[in-house]
Amino acid sequence: MSNPRSQRFRPRRFLKLAIRLIDDDTYNESCRIRTSIGRAYYSAFLIIKSKLESLGHSFPDDHNVHSAVIDTLMVRGYRQIGAKLDSLREVRCDADYHMNVPIKKSSGNYYVQLSQRIIDEVELLRRIS
Amino acid sequence: MVSFKDQLISEASLLAPALSREELSEKISNLIENQILPEALIQMRLPRLPSPASVKTEELMAARYGKRAYSPLHDKMRLIQDLEKIRYKLNGSDLTDVNLPIGSEKTMQTTIGISHPEPELDIERVGEQLSVDMELIQDISPAPFGEPKEKIKSPRLIEFDSEVTQRIVSSRSFATLIGAIESKIRSNYSHGKISFSFSIRADLDIPSREKTKIYISLPDYSFEEKMDFWDKIETEIKNVIESLDVSEDERNEIRRNLLTHVRAV
């Protein structure tokens, strides 16, 4: 049974957490940079997916969903958003799976900002379409 | 008829009567060779290099039709690169952004009167990205007109990884696509600290699917400038894709598998 709309988790909260966490000295720097990038990606990804679904697109309920969302953006003329989301996804994979890839704080800030930018662009789409 | 040089010597001999005509002639020749010509070469505006994709296509076409001797784009590229290398020696700055093929090294050395043994071809390295170590050239080729003022090493404007290079050679449609994008980049972004790196990457979830990614480095740009640049280059790539003479299915395939990534640094 699904929650009513008002009680649904809002993915933008992931971004808020990412923004706070990346500067929170309570935690180890590498941990918070990597975690922030992951939350920033999921915030943007979930908001875009929801937007595309509201426009009539449907996506598989498996691991292919990430590629499917990006493909839809690239083919439907939203390349500028699609390329940014794909880049964020690539860095999110480095952050979560590739421990040999160093990620600096400046990069972490950049990709958190990028997530905000993607969401802003999607909001703009909402008003246009 | 009195030549310009004779006229110059006559006029100069009035200003320096202690020197013989031969000595004056030699000094004027030295002046032209060591100062006027190098300055002219440095100031000269060279034409744009033809794209590596078009040069490669010409090479493949020539081999196919047995016209090895006639390759105007390749000859043009070598001439421009030789001139660029002379300019590099003259003012110590690399004025070209492209990889220099091994062949131009030899031409340069012949030009400045230095001969070196023919390098052996390393078969293992065929297919790798072509590059020339400028420091090595610096060591073996003394500067013809004095020491370079300053050695500046900047990233190349465009780089292709070995898989992209191989695909350019093996797929005509891919070569056309990359050539068109490369041409846009060279005509619009060949200034400032910008670099583009073309790579083939497997999809993160579907390893059998390969994507062409263009990584863009804009080290001196602010976040907002990077975003503006990203939107601009994506619009240009979109226009290139729309202009291709392909079926709609092929166009969608290209749209899905060609992506840009403006890096954090």
Average pLDDT over residues B154-174: 91
Mean pLDDT across chain B, nearest whole number?
73
Average pLDDT over residues B142-169: 73
Examine the pLDDT at B145 and tell me if it is beyond 60: no
Q: Does A45 reside within a domain? A: yes
Closest to A80 in 3D by CA, of A38, A46, A122: A122
Indicate the pLDDT class of residue B105, thresholds 50, 70 and 90. Answer: very low
Beta strands in chain A (DSSP E): none
Kindly provide the b/e burial profile for residues B160-173, where b requires at least 16 CB atoms within 10 angstroms of the residue's own CB. bbeebbebbbeeee
For β-strands B195-202 and B210-217, DSSP reports them as antiparallel
Question: To the nearest whole angstrom, how far is the Cα of A112 from the nearest Cα of chain B?
Answer: 11
E strand or H helix at A74: helix A65-75
Minimum CA–CA partner of A87 in chain B: B261
Q: How far apart are CA B257 and CA B64, in angstroms?
A: 30
Q: State both tokens at B23.
A: 């000595």
Examine the pLDDT at B103 and tell me if it is beyond 70: no
Kindly provide the b/e burial profile for residues B175-208, where b requires at least 16 CB atoms within 10 angstroms of the residue's own CB. bbbbbbbbbebbeebeeeebbbbbbbbebbeeee
Q: How far apart are CA B52 and CA B73, in angstroms?
A: 10
Distances from the Cα of B246 to the Cα of A75, B56, B58, B249, B251, angstroms: 15, 22, 22, 8, 6
Does the beta-carbon distance from A86 to B262 stay under 8 Å? no
CB neighbour class for B143 (10 Å; exposed up to 12, middle 13-18, buried from 19): middle
- Say if residues A102 and B255 touch (Cβ distance below 8 Å): no
Which residues lie closer than 8 Å to B70 by C-beta, 6 or more apart? B62
Tell which wins on pLDDT, A56 or B192.
A56
Does the beta-carbon distance from A107 to B204 stay under 8 Å? no
Does the beta-carbon distance from B204 to A90 stay under 8 Å? yes
Examine the pLDDT at B93 and tell me if it is beyond 50: no
Q: So what's the pLDDT on residue B111?
A: 35
pTM above 0.95, yes or no: no
Indicate the pLDDT class of residue B77, thresholds 50, 70 and 90. Answer: confident
Give the residue from B123, B154, B185 where a domain finishes: B154
Query: Same domain, yes or no, for B114 and B210?
Result: no
Question: To the nearest whole angstrom, how far is the Cα of B234 from the nearest Cα of chain A?
Answer: 6
Q: How many domains does chain A have?
A: 1
Which of B203, B261, B262 comes nearest A67 by C-beta? B203
Q: Does A4 reside within a domain? A: no
Q: Does A1 reside within a domain? A: no
Q: State both tokens at A12.
A: 């933008």
Q: How many domains does chain B have?
A: 2
Query: Same domain, yes or no, for B51 and B110?
Result: yes
Q: So what's the pLDDT on residue B65?
A: 62
Q: Does B193 reside within a domain? A: yes
Beta bridge partners of B261: B215
Which of B206, B252, B259 comes nearest A86 by C-beta? B259
Q: Residues B257, B261, B264, CA angle at the centre, nearest 5°? A: 160
ipTM value = 0.93
Tell which wins on pLDDT, B63 or B165.
B165
Which CATH number do you get for residue A55? 1.20.120.330
Among positive and negative, which fits the CA dihedral B129, B203, B248, B184? negative
Q: So what's the pLDDT on residue B193?
A: 87
Q: Does B72 reside within a domain? A: yes
Q: Does B235 reside within a domain? A: yes
Q: How far apart are CA B177 and CA B180, in angstroms?
A: 5
- Say if residues A67 and B206 touch (Cβ distance below 8 Å): yes
Q: State both tokens at A42.
A: 């999921």
pLDDT tens per residue across span A11-67: 999 999 999 999 999 999 999 999 999 999 999 999 999 999 999 999 999 989 999
Indicate the pLDDT class of residue B50, thresholds 50, 70 and 90. Answer: confident
Q: Does A101 reside within a domain? A: yes
Please enumerate residues of A whose Cβ is less than 8 A from a Cβ of B. Answer: 63-64, 66-67, 71, 74-75, 77, 79-80, 82-84, 86-87, 89-90, 93, 104, 106-107, 110-111, 113, 117
Tell which wins on pLDDT, B61 or B178.
B178
Q: How far apart are CA A44 and CA A120, in angstroms?
A: 10
Q: Does A3 reside within a domain? A: no
Tell which wins on pLDDT, B156 or B130.
B156
Query: Same domain, yes or no, for B26 and B134?
Result: yes
Query: Same domain, yes or no, for B147 and B52?
Result: yes
Mean pLDDT across chain A, nearest whole number?
93
Which residues lie closer than 8 Å to A123 by C-beta, 6 or more apart? none
Average pLDDT over residues B111-126: 44
Identity of the highest mean pLDDT range in B34-43, B84-93, B134-143, B178-187 = B178-187
Tell which wins on pLDDT, A123 or B250.
B250
Q: Which structural domain, as residue segments, surrounds residue A70?
A: 11-128
Q: So what's the pLDDT on residue B250?
A: 95
